[in-house]
Structure formats: C-alpha cells, structure tokens
Chain A
C-alpha cells in the first residue's frame, strides 16, 4: 500500500508547511492588496472600490519618507560592505584555526535582543555619553553638537543591526575560494592588487550580491532605529506604515504604502541583479 503510493510521499510531507505559508503568508498579502483599494473610514466602515487614489496619495504625501528610507538603507548597505569585506577577507584567509571563533564574534550582535542592542547605541551616542564627549573635545563636533537624534545615528544603528547579514555571505563566498588560484595568479606575475581585482573580487561576487540584498531589504523597511535613535525628521516609511496601522487606524493608506515599499524594493532588486549579471552569479 505504501509502495503503491510512494509518489504521494513528498506531497504529504510538503502539504502542512506549504499550507501554513499559503494561509498565513500568501493570503494575507491578498488581503493587504484588497484593503489597499478600499475607501471609507474605520468608524463608518470600509468598502472595496478600486480606490487607486490611495496609492497616488500615499506616494505624493510620503515621497520624502520613501526617499529617506532608500537613502538610509543604501548608505547602511554601503558602509556595512566597506566594514565587512576586509573583515570577512581577513577571517577567510588569515583566520587560521580560530576561524570559527571570529565568525562567532561576527554574529555575536544577533545574540543580543534587537531592541536592546539599539538601546545600547542610544546609550553610546547619548549627549552625556563618551563618543559625543570625545568628538566635542576634538572639535569634530560643535560644543553643543549631538549625535543622537540625527541622521548619522539612525544610519549607524541600521548599519550595525544588519551588518552580520552582510558579513556572513561575504565570508562564505571568500572562504570557498581555493587559495591555489591566488597563488597561481601571483605565479603569473599578477600584482596583489590585480590578483584581488581579477580573481578574489569576481569569485566573491555571489557573496556581495547575497549580502547587499540581505542588508538592504530589512533596512529599507526598518522603523526601530529611526524611532529610538532619531526624531520625526528622520522617520522612514516603516514609521509611517506602523503608525497608520496601529495608531491612526488608516488601513487603506497603510496597506497601499506597504505595497509601494514592496514594489520599490522589488524594482530595486531586479535592477541590481541585472546590473551585477545574474549568469555570473549562478555559475
């Protein structure tokens, strides 16, 4: 009996998990789309009316927030890359027998609750804190200059919180590079720079690709850093979506904004993967 229905086994294994994702991930996206085209108000009830103006209103009212989200997320991604690439390179090629320990240090921030590590940055960047004091003494910051409640603080927070997402894929890609390839390049009289640009960097591109996406996507939707380290002047699109859903109870506008965020991310990711050349990545 079992043998006759063997072809069924994979489907039986898949069914419960995929059903869960269909009901609690796909269906909600459908409901979100449905809600985003409704008109009316919470008090008088919503009706579905193909109300596309929710989208145009959302985009025109909040284009500043949208732009800020993508600028902050882009900056954080670039800084995370600049910080992590040499670090991942160092661990992969110079880590020796302590590689695993260094890797543990990279993901260590993830072991501290997200909100608590953001609060730690609040503490570090606070006006009474050590960093502001030193920067003021060095005259890098004006005597009344601050770090907390500025764009710098928000970008710094986002960078820190998502940096392991950048560093880990970079490490995985760099670690897989056969050191003999680098030796071969040098035997053929390539300089260190050339070896890096022609061999190491291209071979690590899959890691760069994965790392930037894993950092950029959550960063663009984040609202915690802007809330805890910034002011309303630093608020991102996530802050707007959050407050419209949970404080202002303006569901259609909030739903429309969520889709605008998703669409913008998808377009960005598509353009990015085109620019980087997908066939080189999958090969």
Chain B
C-alpha cells in the first residue's frame, strides 16, 4: 500500500501528483460502484424491449415495443397489479393515519411510557420479515381466519406503521410551535388550530410517510407470501412466473414502477431544495 510509505509529518501540500492520483482513485471507485448499483436496473429496462424466442428472457434477441403495447398480455398480470395498488392505497392510508398520530404524540407531548413506545416502534423494523410473516400466519391459523385480502391488508398496515412514525417524526422535530401558540392567542380552539395551522405545516411530512408506506407495500413479497391465501399480488405473480421463466411484461411493469418512483423522488427533492433556498432567502 502506498499509504504506509508516506512519512508521518509530511508537509501538508506535498507534490500534487500523489494527491491527484489518490483523489481520482476514489472517484474511479465511486464510478464503478455506481455502475454496479445501476447495472441491474439497466438490464431490467433493456430486457423490457427484448423480443425473446422461447420461455427465457435471458439473451438479447431484438428490439420490440410489443411488450409495452401488450403489457397485460400475460394472464393474471393485470389483476395482480390492480390488487397490489389497492392494497398499497388502503394500507398506506391507514398506516399513515395511525403512524402520524403516534409521531405527533412522541414529538409534542410528554407522557409516561415513551421508552417502551419507542421500543415497540423499533422492534418490527429490526425483526426479519420472514418472522413477521410467519408469526402473523400462525395468529390467523389459530384464530381460524382464512388468509386473503383482509389478512394481506392487516399485515401491510402492521409493517408500514413503524416506517411512517420514523419518517414523520424526523420531519416534525424542527417544527415551529410559536405558530400554534399564535393561533391560540388569536382565539382559535385546539381543533381549529390543528386543522388550520398544524396540519398544513406538517402535510409534507405526512405525505413523505404515506409515499414510503405505499412503496413498501407495493414491493413486499415475503410477508405477503405467508398471508395471501389464494390472492396474487404483483410480487407474488413475479415469483410464480419466475419458476417457469418470467415474461418480458414483468420487466415492463418493473420499469414503469421504477420510472414513477424516480419521478416522485425527483419532484420531492426539487421541492425540498427550493424550500430550503426560500428559507435561506427570508433569513
């Protein structure tokens, strides 16, 4: 290693060549790491335009738009996607409501039992998904509750709550409470203050939590696999299809989900950057 050769008390600005090489080495490493991260995504997108001969979509055969035009040409794929979106919409809605309430309580009120509450929020996130899924299945079996739509929904709400709490809490910490006090001084009651002042201010935090919950729900395979019964969500469809060779339509939907998620994130970042600049401007 070149590192050991450097004398301990070297003058700070030694010959720039070494420094230059070392800095470039880090940059080259970063570029390689980015390629590694993005390569599979490129493969997913590329092979959504492939025209495979036979069952396996492994080898590039030729460009076609047919898979995109005919995205629901494989039996079951459309209903699986619809089910995934329904579950995600419902579970993110409920988990966001429950999680936001917990976050509000944690950030804004002093109460006994804060430690155990934080622990209970943290625990599901640090439990392997397979244990979460399996234990829920055992509960449903013992309660003689048939697995299906309802049990998927219950499971998704369960694992989303903690993530919503963490996300909303992180954004609530810098919240300026003087605005609420001002509203109360002006005669607004507690509910009006919440509705007219607090809610609009914390709306971005709630939205961030809801988006995360939605994304987690759409993507979940393991917990759903244990509790789906005969229902098939999109990840379960992919799992089934993978056993016999996944059709290119899977890549099409994967690409579409990727592009939508990327667009949502980009908008979020732009809005945040703007807001940050505005805040700096008013100071």
Q: Are B246 and A16 in contact (CB under 8 A)?
A: no
- Please give me the residue from chain B that is nearest to A100 by CB atom: B269
* Interface hit among B64-72, B122-130, B175-183, B199-207: B122-130
**A86 CB–B CB distance under 8 Å:** yes
Q: Are A129 and B98 in contact (CB under 8 A)?
A: no
**A224 CB–B CB distance under 8 Å:** yes
- What is the 8 Å Cβ interface bit string for chain B, positions 108-126, against chain A (1 contact, 0 not)? 1111000001001101101
**B101 CB–A CB distance under 8 Å:** yes
Q: Which secondary structure dominates where chain B touches chain A?
A: helix
Complex CA–CA separation, A260 to B117 (angstroms): 26
Q: Are A35 and B221 in contact (CB under 8 A)?
A: no
Contact partners of A122 in chain B: CB under 8 A: 58, 242
**A81 CB–B CB distance under 8 Å:** no
Known: A123-B43, A242-B130. Contact between A258 and B101, CB under 8 A?
no
Give the size of the chain B interface in residues (CB under 8 angstroms): 90
Q: In the complex, which residues 37-53 of chain B have their Cβ closer than 8 Å to any Cβ of chain A?
A: 37-41, 43-44, 47
- What is the 8 Å Cβ interface bit string for chain A, positions 27-55, against chain B (1 contact, 0 not)? 11101101100000000000000000000
Contact partners of B41 in chain A: CB under 8 A: 108-109, 112, 117, 120
Q: Are B238 and A116 in contact (CB under 8 A)?
A: yes
Contact partners of A186 in chain B: CB under 8 A: 12
Q: Are A20 and B98 in contact (CB under 8 A)?
A: yes
Q: Are B126 and A217 in contact (CB under 8 A)?
A: yes
* Chain A residues close to B by CB (< 8 Å): 2, 7, 9-11, 13-14, 16-18, 20-22, 24-29, 31-32, 34-35, 83-84, 86-87, 89-91, 94, 100, 102, 104-117, 119-124, 126, 128-129, 160, 163, 186-187, 189, 191-194, 213, 217-218, 220-224, 228, 238, 241-242, 245-246, 251, 254-255, 258, 261-262, 265, 269
Can you list 20 A-B contacts (CB < 8 A)?
A10-B109, A16-B101, A17-B161, A21-B124, A24-B136, A28-B135, A31-B135, A31-B138, A31-B139, A87-B29, A87-B33, A113-B235, A114-B235, A116-B238, A117-B40, A123-B57, A221-B130, A224-B221, A224-B222, A254-B134
15 extra interchain contacts, Cβ-Cβ under 8 A, other than A116-B44, A116-B250? A17-B161, A20-B157, A28-B132, A86-B30, A89-B26, A90-B29, A100-B273, A104-B266, A108-B262, A115-B238, A117-B254, A119-B238, A120-B41, A241-B130, A258-B135
